Amino acid sequence: MSISRNVIMDLLPVYLAGEASEDTRTLIEEYLQTDKELAQMVAESNKTPFTQNIEAPVNKETELASLEKVQAMIQRTILVTAGAVVFTCVTLMLVTAGLVYLVYR
């Protein structure tokens, strides 16, 4: 199976961060031997590594907003599930009642 350049490009961030598995590192390094342009880009990026961790812009307001969204999603899921259960039970009761009526009529 031939690995496309797009697959290698998808794996490069993990490789450059040093978090790739041994198999992934081997795959990328083998591919870089065939793609000199990409190999040069990787070599350039290795010359200037990140000196610090990049922190996500998270503060209490964004955390609270995310929490509220998740809670609302959970509440909607519970309500929809409860509605489906009630609908199913009522439908089964009506069908049963109808069949009983027809049998004893």
Percent share of the chain, pLDDT over 90: 59
Local confidence band at 3 (pLDDT 50, 70, 90 cut-offs): confident
Q: Read off the DSSP letter of residue 54.
A: P
Write out the two tokens for 20.
Answer: 């790739």
For the ranges 15-19, 44-48, 49-53, 82-86, the one whose mean pLDDT is highest: 82-86
pLDDT higher than 80, residue 104: yes
Contact 20, 11 (CB under 8 A): yes
Percent share of the chain, pLDDT over 70: 90
| Averaged pLDDT of the chain | 89
Tell me the mean pLDDT in the region 31-41: 91
**Shortest CA distance to 27 belongs to which of 48, 41, 35?**
35
Q: CA 49, CA 95: separation in Å to the nearest integer?
A: 69
pTM score, two decimals? 0.46
Write out the two tokens for 35.
Answer: 């793609």
